């Protein structure tokens, strides 16, 4: 009987999911319109948008290296978007992926610098666990404050985003400052055992597997387990779920920590595989992009994969613009915002009346 009631509560979530599935092919159209709008903005600024788009296409799809770089970029996006999608099932808004990524990277670095003598098969799992822990702790805080009804998680995760990079900076300017690079603050290089293995000749690394595994687990957990069912029930109606005996507060705390941990693994993968040391400029906004990816995908696992791909391409546009036409990378946020404005501006079936 309880199960049926829980299922009934999931109604709205199920509607949202089916709407999300319909939106995936439509996304291509939205992307085209957004690219056109963005092109106009670039034209007004005296830049050449068509050249930028052509350069991007040639770079990304013209050779294997460019495409492999796309996969490198998708890797953290997969994890940061799951970090948003998972709490969103409960109706929680985690905008703290960026901070959670930094804290994961930070704690993983502590592992790499603290145990340089461990063999790789021991050190890498340790760093992954530490990365998870770092991110999880950073999300646990907003989770606890939300569960205790003290602070709304949206604003607390946003504020924590600003604190995490400062902690990283504190360490690389202070205790972990590498002696050999006096001018550019960064941690000492990791030992080889602390580096995630790469696919030969590219920068694609084991982190991509982490991301895909997380995505599969996310999809399965949500649709095939009782936890997923309970989560959707809470998202549908928290009050009723509580009365059905679902421990809502515990779910809030656990899910937030889990989400932060996954973003933390993304941070660990970035320092371990890409940077090989802790640096201040760890992420070009992967945490924020993850929010957009998850939102556009409607929390659907397959949708996340598609949207992460799209956003990796979008973010390549930003890189190309910066390299070839001297446009600051941050301008790419404009393109992302236009995409979202168009999606939000459509009167979809999801937003029908009361």
CB nearer to other proteins: pick between 108 and 145: 145
CB nearer to other proteins: pick between 156 and 241: 156
Q: Which segment (124-132, 168-176, 211-219, 222-230) binds other proteins by CB under 8 A?
A: 168-176
Q: How far apart are CA 209 and CA 235, in angstroms?
A: 29
CB nearer to other proteins: pick between 202 and 333: 333
Q: How many CA atoms lie within 13 A of 312 on its CB side?
A: 24
Least distance to other proteins, CB of residue 178, Å: 17
Q: How far apart are CA 137 and CA 131, in angstroms?
A: 10
Q: Which segment (67-75, 162-170, 200-208, 215-223) binds other proteins by CB under 8 A?
A: 162-170
Least distance to other proteins, CB of residue 157, Å: 10
Least distance to other proteins, CB of residue 112, Å: 21
Virtual torsion, Cα 328, 316, 33, 291, nearest 10 deg? -90
CB nearer to other proteins: pick between 104 and 285: 285
CB nearer to other proteins: pick between 6 and 141: 141
Q: Which segment (13-21, 225-233, 266-274, 287-295) binds other proteins by CB under 8 A?
A: 287-295
Q: Which segment (4-12, 75-83, 160-168, 213-221) binds other proteins by CB under 8 A?
A: 160-168
Cα 239 to chain centroid distance, Å, stands at: 29
Q: How many residues bind other proteins (CB under 8 A)?
A: 49
Query: Please, what sign has the CA dihedral across residues 135, 139, 141, 147?
Result: negative
Q: Which of residues 36-95 bind other proteins (CB under 8 A)?
A: 41, 45, 93, 95
Contact between 178 and other proteins per CB under 8 A: no
CB nearer to other proteins: pick between 8 and 40: 40
Closest CA to 311 of 92, 131, 84, 103: 84
CB nearer to other proteins: pick between 92 and 196: 92
Least distance to other proteins, CB of residue 285, Å: 8
CB nearer to other proteins: pick between 118 and 297: 297
Using CB under 8 A, pick the residue from 2, 63, 114, 162 that binds other proteins: 162
Contact between 24 and other proteins per CB under 8 A: no
CB nearer to other proteins: pick between 126 and 340: 340
How far the first Cα of the chain sits from its last, in Å, is 28
Using CB under 8 A, pick the residue from 59, 132, 251, 295 that binds other proteins: 295
CB nearer to other proteins: pick between 154 and 181: 154
Least distance to other proteins, CB of residue 352, Å: 8
Contact between 200 and other proteins per CB under 8 A: no
Q: What's the full length of the chain, in residues?
A: 354
Q: Which of residues 236-275 bind other proteins (CB under 8 A)?
A: none
Contact between 184 and other proteins per CB under 8 A: no
Q: How far apart are CA 87 and CA 85, in angstroms?
A: 6
What residues line the site for other proteins (CB under 8 A)?
41, 45, 93, 95, 145, 149-152, 154-156, 158-163, 166-167, 169-170, 173-174, 288, 291-292, 295, 327-338, 340-341, 344-347, 351, 353-354
């Amino acid at each position: 009987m309880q199960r049926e009631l829980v299922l009934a509560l999931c109604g709205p979530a199920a509607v949202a999911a089916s709407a999300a599935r319909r939106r995936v092919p439509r996304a291509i159209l939205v992307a085209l319109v957004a690219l056109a709008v963005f092109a106009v903005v670039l034209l007004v600024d005296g830049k050449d948008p068509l050249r930028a788009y052509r350069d991007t296409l040639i770079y990304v799809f013209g050779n294997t290296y460019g495409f492999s770089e796309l996969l490198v970029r998708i890797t953290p996006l997969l994890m940061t978007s799951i970090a948003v999608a998972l709490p969103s099932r409960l109706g929680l808004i985690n905008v703290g992926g960026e901070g959670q990524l930094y804290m994961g990277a930070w704690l993983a670095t502590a592992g790499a610098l603290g145990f340089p003598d461990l063999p790789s098969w021991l050190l890498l799992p340790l760093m992954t666990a530490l990365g998870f822990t770092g991110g999880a702790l950073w999300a646990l805080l907003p989770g606890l404050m939300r569960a205790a009804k003290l602070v709304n998680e949206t604003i607390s995760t946003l504020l924590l985003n600003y604190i995490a990079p400062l902690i990283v900076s504190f360490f690389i300017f202070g205790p972990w400052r590498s002696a050999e690079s006096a001018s550019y603050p960064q941690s000492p290089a990791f030992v080889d055992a602390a580096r995630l293995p790469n696919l030969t000749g590219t920068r694609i690394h084991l982190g991509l597997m982490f991301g895909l595994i997380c995505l599969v687990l996310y999809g399965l957990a949500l649709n095939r387990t009782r936890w997923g069912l309970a989560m959707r029930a809470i998202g549908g109606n928290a009050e009723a779920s509580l009365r059905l005996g679902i421990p809502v507060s515990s779910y809030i705390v656990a899910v937030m920590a889990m989400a932060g941990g996954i973003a933390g693994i993304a941070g660990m993968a970035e320092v371990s595989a890409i940077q090989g040391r802790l640096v201040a400029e760890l992420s070009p906004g992967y945490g924020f992009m993850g929010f957009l990816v998850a939102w556009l995908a409607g929390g659907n696992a397959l949708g996340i994969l598609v949207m992460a791909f799209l956003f990796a391409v979008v973010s390549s546009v930003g890189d190309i613009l910066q390299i070839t036409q001297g446009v600051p990378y941050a301008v790419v946020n404009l393109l992302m915002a236009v995409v979202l404005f168009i999606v939000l501006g459509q009167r979809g079936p999801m937003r029908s009346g009361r």
